[in-house]
């Protein structure tokens, strides 16, 4: 098997506050292969965006990477100096943010921003960089790119601005693109176009893509694999079709059960997960999901579950511990609806 483009091992991110140290990411591990789209999904506060920021080196004080490793193409990058990491960003890693207006300077023409980025990471002349910028705008679907390249960001629609941001991310043909909620602010038709564009770019350029979102519809349409995060940890990771159709972790089951379908009958009820994501200052011991889980028992409130390989999934849940007789007894109840109650 070839070496993954991105390899994250036991990543831990902390924020130092007056009330103590808050663990935002606690032992996250995953790989992304060349041309693969890994979706990262979960509720607000699960740690999705912080994970992406840690990978690209954008954790500012009082935050810090407290442990683990991040490797890009085999090279460790989490311990690089700020200057060395700036050379990695943009050239080897591209970033697509949720709001394109935060990535585009309203005072400069789109072409000026593209040309500057291209020349920062290549040896192209002004004319060569402008030609490359026009090619990128055409590749991401901007109509009449020879004319639109001289427009200002406010002259583009939301969907067109997001395409410009994707073009910026592609300027240096990066090995990895981190897309943080790239379709949230867009309407459904434009959202579908951006999803199609990301899939095509990954396929044609061989770019690895980390897609951060809370939208399971986007994940199902775009990703090859999906990581479900909860309280700074990965609860379940596996091929997107298996995780969507046959989730294993009780939290993943709740997320999938809360998605309405076109064949939903009037008697079918959507799953409601009781409670809410715990604050960073009040993450419970053991499995962080156990206060909301109807299948929890005393071990869940005591021991943190390690990821267990189960078929093509890796799931952090004691239910799948083959050496625990209590887990076997609980497995017969794992299809009970989440709204029936929460284990004490």
Give this prediction's pTM: 0.87
**Minimal CA–CA distance to 41: which of 238, 174, 201?**
238
Residue 38 contacts residue 209 (beta carbons within 8 Å)? yes
Distance of alpha carbon 241 from alpha carbon 246, whole angstroms: 8
Assign domain 6-229 to its CATH superfamily: P-loop containing nucleotide triphosphate hydrolases (3.40.50.300)
The strand pairing partners of 177, in sequence order, are 94, 209
Domain range summary for the chain, segments of one domain joined by +: 6-229, 247-340
Q: How many CB atoms lie within 10 A of CB 202?
A: 20
Phi, psi torsion values for 59, nearest 5 degrees:
-90, 110
* Tens digit of each residue's pLDDT, the chain (344 residues): 578 999 999 999 999 998 889 999 999 999 999 999 999 998 888 999 999 999 999 998 899 999 999 999 999 999 999 899 988 988 899 888 877 777 899 999 999 999 999 998 888 999 999 999 999 999 888 999 999 999 999 999 888 898 898 889 888 889 999 998 887 767 777 778 778 888 887 888 889 999 998 888 888 888 999 999 999 999 999 999 999 999 999 999 988 887 776 665 656 677 788 888 999 989 999 999 999 998 888 999 999 999 999 888 999 999 998 888 777 676 655 544 444 333 43
């Amino acid at each position: 098997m070839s070496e993954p483009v991105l390899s994250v091992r036991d990543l831990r991110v902390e924020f130092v506050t007056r009330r103590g140290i808050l663990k935002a990411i606690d032992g996250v591990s995953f790989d992304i292969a060349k041309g693969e789209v890994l979706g990262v999904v979960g509720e607000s506060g699960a740690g999705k965006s912080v994970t992406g920021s840690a990978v690209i080196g954008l954790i500012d004080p009082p935050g810090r990477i407290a442990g683990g490793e991040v490797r890009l193409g085999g090279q460790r990058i989490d311990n690089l100096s700020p200057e060395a990491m700036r050379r990695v960003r943009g050239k080897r890693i591209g970033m697509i943010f949720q709001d394109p207006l935060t990535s585009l300077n309203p005072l400069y023409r789109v072409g000026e921003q593209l040309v500057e980025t291209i020349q920062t990471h290549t040896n192209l002349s002004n004319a060569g960089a402008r030609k490359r910028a026009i090619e990128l705008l055409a590749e991401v679907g901007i109509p009449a790119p020879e004319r639109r390249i001289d427009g200002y960001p406010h002259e583009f629609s939301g969907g067109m601005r997001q395409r410009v941001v994707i073009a910026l991310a592609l300027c240096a043909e990066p090995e990895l693109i981190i897309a943080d909620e790239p379709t949230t602010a867009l309407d459904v038709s434009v959202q579908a176009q951006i999803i199609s564009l990301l899939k095509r770019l990954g396929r044609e350029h061989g770019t690895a893509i980390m897609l951060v979102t809370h939208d399971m519809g986007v994940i199902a349409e775009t990703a090859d694999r999906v990581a479900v995060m909860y309280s700074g940890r990965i609860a379940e990771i596996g091929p997107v079709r298996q995780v969507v159709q046959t989730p294993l972790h009780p939290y993943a089951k709740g997320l999938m059960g809360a998605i309405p379908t076109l064949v939903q009958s009037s008697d079918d009820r959507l799953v409601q997960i009781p409670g809410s994501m715990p604050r960073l200052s009040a993450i419970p011991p053991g499995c962080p999901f156990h206060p909301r889980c109807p299948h929890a028992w005393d071990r869940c409130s005591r021991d943190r579950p390690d990821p267990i390989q189960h078929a093509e999934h890796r799931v952090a849940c004691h239910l799948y511990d083959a050496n625990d007789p209590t887990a076997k007894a609980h497995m017969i109840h794992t299809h009970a609806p989440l709204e029936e109650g929460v284990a004490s």
